[in-house]
């Protein structure tokens, strides 16, 4: 194997950048979609309508019990069946991650909703707000704030997990590093580079979460 | 205004309200007192349907609270409630707390709601705190904001559920002052409270509860001077003599 040669990093940057852009896009879409769908799932799980709660609960349990790689592979195989036409690895990855992360965001939002006291709900109802208005204006904003650090931490995990799309050949950052590494016969150097980039991004996001936590904390 | 007839409530096998009947006439102030666990908070929460009850009827302004056909949000919008733990919305400024239901429930315009809110803040002496968040206020200030929030809906009556129990002693007075003022202006009020000074001053009647039943329902003067039951005598002795 011989000496390391990090000169390969220079020419690899355009590929890495494209891969990273996809990784970021995937993370952002899956986070936004995951939180929205996850919140709806959480509302369904907490709903007094038993069948609805059961279905949502079953979905969440299913997603949380299967390794992500398998979910990615399964969706890649199943989505063309459902839609009747093949979708690319990238589209498949976006749908999969949104659906998968929704289950995790659901559980976070569920505990967030439950963290808001009964008294708050009573106060909202006593003012004449309907169940839905109380949820939208009083419970969910507090649930989101209470859970913000956990939601963002989950998003950092999501960002790292997106590297698993290599399984279906989507061109994320890790895949780009892999391809360049093979072309230049410098796989180790490229793996080191992508690890450094993952670390730099995740670590600064963690610091940002800590800062944000201080800023948005509700004064009680 | 408020008619409570034979209301009973069970939590599973435990009966927490036993055939309670009383009423609050328009412009009347009625104080509900009794030892903790006597069901007084549960009873007052039944009045606006926050707690369901198993038997009996409650009507507010002629509208039956327990009737499944009743539009509860609409009824509650006309019945103000003040809670032991204030329950201001911590993620909203004082101003927003006052405006939320005016805009969402009554359909008032934002500036109209804000003006009404500010005039009520003025009245409870907190105009200067309009843009603060509840967490930045003292307990007494928060409770006064909560009263203003209830008043902003122009309620036909007000329910108070131990409004001073969570307050430090030096803050109780400022909240009671607001309540006395409201009572003297003729607001219909049902108050669960142990503030017997307040009861003597403004209550027309005192309802004494113990173990889920209404043991006494008497004019305030008579209740304090000559309570009819042993239980009320023991209760009064305990809270007045220390």
CB-closest option in B50, B79, B150 to A122: B50
B-chain CB neighbours of A219 within 8 Å are 90, 133, 135-136
**Residue-wise over B9-42: b if at least 16 C-beta within 10 A, else e?**
beeeeebbbbebebbbeeebbbbbbbbeebbbbb
Instruction: Determine whether the interchain pair A125/B76 forms a contact, defined as Cβ–Cβ distance below 8 Å.
Output: yes
Q: Which of B58, B61, B29 is nearest to B46 (CA)?
A: B58
A68 phi and psi, to 5 degrees?
-55, -40
Query: Confidence class of residue A66 from pLDDT cuts 50, 70 and 90?
Result: very high
Quick check: B140 and B179 in contact, CB under 8 A?
no
Q: What tens digit of pLDDT does each residue of A79-107 get?
A: 888 888 888 888 899 999 999 999 999 99
């203003």: which residue's tokens? B148
Q: What span, in angstroms and rounded, lies between the C-alpha atoms of B41 and A171?
A: 62
Name the E strands within chain A: none
Q: Which of B101, B97, B103 is nearest to B124 (CA)?
A: B97
In chain A the domains, ranked by start, together with CATH numbers, are: 11-219 (1.10.3720.10)
Contact criterion met (CB < 8 Å) for A125 and B50 = yes
Contact at 8 Å (CB) between B190 and B2?
yes
CB contact under 8 A, A127 and B153: yes
What are A163-185's pLDDT values in tens digits? 998 888 888 888 888 888 888 88
What gap in Å lies between CA A213 and CA A28, rounded to an integer? Answer: 20
Phi, psi values for residue B55, rounded to 5°? -135, 160
What pLDDT is stored for residue B241 in this prediction? Answer: 67
What would the pLDDT profile of A121-175 be if each residue is shown by its tens digit?
Answer: 999 999 999 999 999 999 999 999 889 889 999 999 999 999 998 888 888 888 8
Query: Which pLDDT does position A218 carry in this prediction?
Result: 56
Handedness of CA A19, A21, A26, A31 (dihedral sign): positive
Residues of B with CB below 8 A from A124's CB?
89
Please tell me the predicted confidence (pLDDT) of residue A171. 87
The answer to whether the CB of B180 falls within 8 A of the CB of B147 is: no
Which regions in chain B score pLDDT beneath 70? 241-242
* B78 contact A CB<8A: yes
Q: Looking at residues A193-199, what average pLDDT do you find?
A: 92
Looking at residue A217, its pLDDT comes to: 64
| Predicted local confidence at residue A214, as pLDDT | 79
Residues of B in contact with A121 (CB under 8 A): none
B74 touches chain A (CB under 8 A): yes
Helix axes A9-45, A50-65, angle to 10 degrees: 150
Q: Which two structure tokens, joined as six digits, stand for A124?
A: 């909202």
Query: What are the structure tokens assigned to B89, written together?
Result: 């919305």
- Cβ–Cβ below 8 Å for A126 and B80: yes
Residue pair A31/A158 in contact by the 8 Å Cβ criterion: yes
Q: Dump pLDDT digits (tens) for B185-233.
A: 999 999 999 999 999 989 999 999 999 999 999 999 899 988 889 999 9
Q: Is B153 on the interface with A (CB under 8 A)?
A: yes
Q: State whether A128 and B149 contact (CB < 8 Å).
A: no
Per DSSP, what are the bridge partners of residue B158? Answer: B80, B189
Whether A187 shows a pLDDT value over 80: the answer reads yes
Residue B90, chain A, CB below 8 Å: the answer is yes
| Distance between B155 CA and the closest CA of chain A, angstroms | 10
- The string of pLDDT tens digits covering residues A4-43 is 878 888 888 888 899 899 999 999 999 999 999 999 999 9
Burial class (CB in 10 A: 0-12, 13-18, 19+), A103: buried
Minimal CA–CA distance to B112: which of B154, B78, B159, B81? Answer: B154
Cβ A127 vs Cβ B77: under 8 Å? yes
Partners of B78 on chain A (C-beta within 8 Å) are: 128
Beta carbons of B191 and B160 less than 8 angstroms apart: yes
A-chain CB neighbours of B90 within 8 Å are: 142, 218-220
Structure tokens at B136: 């930045």
Q: Contact B118/B127 with Cβ under 8 angstroms?
A: yes
Residues from chain B that touch A142, judged by Cβ atoms under 8 A, are: 89-91
Contacts of A126 (CB under 8 A, 6+ apart): B48, B50, B76, B79, B80, B81, B83, B150
Q: What is the pLDDT of residue B223?
A: 92
B52 touches chain A (CB under 8 A): no
Of A191, A182, A166, the residue nearest A22 (C-alpha): A166
pLDDT number for residue A85: 81
Q: Three-class SS of residue B11? A: strand
């Amino acid at each position: 194997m011989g000496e390391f040669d990090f000169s390969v990093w220079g020419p690899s940057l355009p590929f890495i950048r494209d891969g990273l852009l996809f990784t970021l896009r995937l993370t952002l879409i899956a986070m936004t979609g995951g939180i929205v769908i996850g919140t709806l799932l959480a509302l369904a799980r907490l709903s007094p309508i038993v069948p609805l709660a059961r279905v949502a609960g079953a979905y969440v349990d299913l997603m949380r019990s299967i390794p992500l790689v398998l979910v990615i592979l399964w969706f890649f195989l199943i989505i063309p069946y459902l839609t009747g036409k093949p979708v690319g690895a990238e589209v498949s990855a976006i749908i999969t991650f949104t659906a998968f992360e929704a289950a995790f965001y659901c559980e976070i939002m569920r505990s967030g909703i439950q963290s808001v006291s009964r008294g708050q709900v009573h106060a909202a109802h006593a003012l004449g707000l309907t169940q839905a208005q109380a949820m939208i204006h009083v419970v969910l904003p507090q649930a989101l704030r209470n859970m913000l650090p956990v939601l963002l931490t989950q998003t950092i995990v999501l960002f790292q997990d997106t590297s698993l799309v290599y399984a279906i050949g989507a061109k994320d950052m890790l895949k780009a590093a892999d391809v360049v590494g093979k072309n230049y016969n410098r796989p180790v150097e490229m793996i080191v580079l992508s690890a450094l980039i993952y670390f730099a991004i995740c670590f600064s996001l963690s610091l940002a979460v800590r800062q944000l936590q201080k800023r948005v904390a509700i004064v009680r | 205004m408020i008619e409570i007839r034979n209301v009973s409530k069970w939590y599973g096998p435990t009966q927490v309200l036993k055939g309670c009947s009383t009423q609050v006439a328009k412009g009347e102030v009625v104080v509900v007192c009794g030892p903790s666990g006597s069901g007084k908070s549960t009873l007052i929460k039944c009045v606006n349907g926050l707690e369901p009850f198993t038997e009996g009827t409650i009507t507010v302004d002629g509208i039956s609270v327990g009737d499944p056909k009743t539009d509860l949000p609409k009824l509650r919008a006309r019945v103000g409630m003040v809670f032991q733990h204030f329950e201001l919305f911590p993620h909203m400024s004082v101003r927003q707390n006052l405006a939320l239901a005016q805009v969402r429930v009554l359909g008032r315009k934002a500036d109209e709601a804000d003006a009404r809110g500010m005039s009520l803040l003025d009245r409870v002496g907190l105009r200067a705190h309009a843009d603060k968040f509840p967490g930045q206020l003292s307990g007494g200030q928060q409770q006064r904001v909560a009263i203003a929030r209830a008043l902003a809906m122009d309620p036909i009556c007000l329910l108070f559920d131990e409004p001073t129990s969570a307050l430090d002693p030096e803050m109780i007075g400022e909240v009671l002052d607001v309540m006395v003022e409201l009572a003297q202006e003729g607001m219909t009020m049902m108050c669960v409270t142990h503030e017997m000074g307040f009861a003597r001053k403004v209550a027309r009647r005192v309802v004494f509860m113990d173990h889920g039943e209404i043991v006494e329902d008497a004019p305030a003067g008579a209740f304090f001077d000559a309570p009819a039951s042993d239980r009320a005598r023991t209760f009064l002795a305990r809270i007045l003599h220390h």
